[in-house]
Structure 1
Amino acid sequence: MEQKKALNKKKLKVLLALCIAVVVLTGIGLFVYIRHVDTTTLGRKISVYGMDVSKLTVEEAQKKISESFQNKTVILNEDGEDIYSITLAQMGYSLDQDTLKSSLEALQQQRKQKFQIFASQRDYTIDYQILKDEAQEQTALAVENFKSKERTDSTDAYIRYSKKKQKYVLVKQVVGNQIDVNRLLSYVNDTLDEKFKTELLSSDVQIVLSEEVYRQPDIEASGEMKQQVKKLNSQLKKYRSTTVTYVFGSETQILDSDTINSWLKIKNNGISVDKDAAAAYISDMANKYNTIYVPRTFHTSGGADITVSDNEYGYRIDQEGELTQLLEDLKSGEAVSREPVYSSSGMQRNGTDDLAGSYIEVSLDAQHLWLYKDGALVTETDIVSGAPTAKRETYRGAWPIAYKASPFTLSSEEYGYAKTVNYWMPFVYGQGLHDAPWQSAFGGDRYKTGHGSHGCINLPEDQAALIYNTIDGGYPIIIY
């Protein structure tokens, strides 16, 4: 029995020794294995940019990382909908293999130097270089790939006239959704570059498209355009508030704002006045109020109506000059009151009446003169006019008195005389009113019997003085 117990005890010792040997050999084997793994691969419990590369050699990890990067999917989302997806490989993206291999080898060496029996999970970032085939990327992101969605063009900001608001308004630009290839490429590249910093390998990339990738308007609303709208509306307001009152003595003609408004040519790019319409208005006004160079109908002191053809007294509107002045007036925004621009003007007027009660009237047949001022008869007198011959007769017509002179010497080489008079008032072609002390009588038929003048109207001296002191240069004289 004792011998049996001794035998069992010996067996236990052998078994224990064997167990200890197995444990030791296992530990040694495990250590050798761990050492082998950590020296021939990247090591245990290691990831790069979130990808597990445990127990992979540099070459195996390089291949896995490269393939994972190129298989990464880029998903383009627009208005909440995925409209296009493509891999990085299809876009022409890849990792530079030399750089990747060098980075992994450096990581392996780093891990070797920090050998640990009991490893803990650790994620690493390494240096990398991305290669890109730009031509392939442009093809992958070509506009043709985004035609599944309805596209609209962008519109520029512009100024327009609103008939509803009756004023100019600034219409702002509108960004459409037409893809701008250059903008899309830049936006995708920038987004990917940012994503790669933290998610080089982990997940697919979703890129949300916005106005940043659309074709932008060429013209955007600006402060300058706002100022232009303000300027246009200011000018429009002035045109609409301007009136022009034309003064013809005590009579006026009003160019009202409604008429002016009908002349306005309002376009989106500006305001202009219909010059033809304005010129037609001025022409009508000239036809009504011009009194010179047209036959003059005159009611004589004797009660008859006569017409004088040679009419060189009165008013004539300078239509071109008036148009220029009117166009300036219309910009003022004021109530303008003035006379028209005249090329010829008389002494005074009352509407179409350019005598207004102040004129000299001469009847050659009656050999008589009347002087009126402000509607009242100042004086009347007999006269002696030019002899009734072709060279000496007094001209019939209407003229202004050119000027006054006292004394004045009348002379003629043709007729060989030189006579000084006290009161000289010429009207046309060397003819004029003057005193004639050499005349012994006035009126009747003296002008026919050898006492007629060379065209001047001879007056008694007292009457010549009265007329001279009553009138000024420009006073109208009508001879018939």
Structure 2
Amino acid sequence: MSKKKIAVIVTAGVLGFLAVCYVGISIYFYQVFYPNTYINGGNVSDASPEAVKEALLDSMKDYALKVVPIDGEPIVLSGKSIGFHYNFDEVDEIKKKEMGWAWPVKFFTRTEYTVEAACEWDQAKLDQEIDGLRCVTQEMTAPSDASLVIDESGVHLTEAVKGNTIKKEALKKAIADTLAEGKPEINLDASGCYETPQITSESPEIQNELKKVEELCKAEVTYNFHGTEEKIGRDQIWNWVRKDGEGNLYIDEGAAYDYLCELAYRHDTVGVYRDFWSSRGYTITVDPGTYGWGTSVDSEIGPLMDDLVNKRVVRRDPAYYMTPYPGVDPNSPDDIGNTYIEIDLSGQYLWYYINGELIVSTPITSGTMSTGHGTPSGVYYVCSYSRNIVLTGDDYRQPVDFWIQVVGGIGIHDSLWRSVYGGSEYLNAGSHGCINTPYDAVSNIYWNIDIGVPVVMYY
């Protein structure tokens, strides 16, 4: 046999062998992944699709879904209870797309794939679990709409209430969508699983009405109550808004008047008890009287309403029907000051101070206690003073040289017919209520007195 023929035979044999090897290896790689192949970051060279799927399943933890309701504790839904499992059949699809005969190239080429697990479960078991959830079986509170009521007590905005009424079909779909994505938690409220109110405080019908109310509440009136500020603004006016029969909004004057009365009660000192440092050297509590700060609500309501209606921002003192004696520090809690007449009715004694200096110190005789003419205690003030008048009553007419009116028909005056002052005269032989004072003492008071000087009388 010639050398040429031998060479042909050998070559043919070698090629046949190589062909058989290529086909055999190709058949092998039709069943396993090529070298240098990676799935989800793991090397799967020479691994079958089944082996790869088992490895991927082993890497997954047991699944559980945390269900968070709008109220109460979260509920854990076990994956086992609903037949939940992962499906990695995509691995098979990847392997089918590979061509087994391309294996020589793959030895020198890195190939990477990412496989997403498909989540599957038993729908019948899931429905059963959902039906048993506490948020489904508990007593439910239906949602309620927001409302805006304007009545005789002001504006009342009631916010909408969500309640906890489950929408069953929405719940099933939301849980199914969460399972399909393999997420570990679902918030039922955020997922739209509850019935919701039709009208909220943000709804146009309520917002439009609120804007009208707010428009009425733009004024701001700041009062200075002798050193203490009180602001009337949006928070107060809001409660005074009313609606008439035609649906028009307005500010109720009566409500504003009542609030001014509250401020007057809070800050007025007319008619209140006071602590007073007496000339005896100790503090006493003096009964209410007619002296002090007295707010004139009737005079103030008109200007206030005008400011409110015209939405003004102003600061001012309120109108007063009574103010303390001029010179008293308006910021001081003591509105009696250092100029006053002090009368101890039990001790039957009078002191008169001007700017803290004692001007008169004298015994007196006050109203007769046994006949019911006792002089009233309290903090009053000098209303008027006159010379040479005649005091008259049911059974007397008595001329006096000096008359200093304190409260009503009671005043301080001279009493030349009386020779004894102080002591116990007032118990059975006193006046009809006035303060009988020695001539020289009352004269000194008279020529140094002003209208409004406080007169503090106490037992």
Q: Give the TM-score, by structure 2 length.
A: 0.43
Q: Give the TM-score, by structure 1 length.
A: 0.42
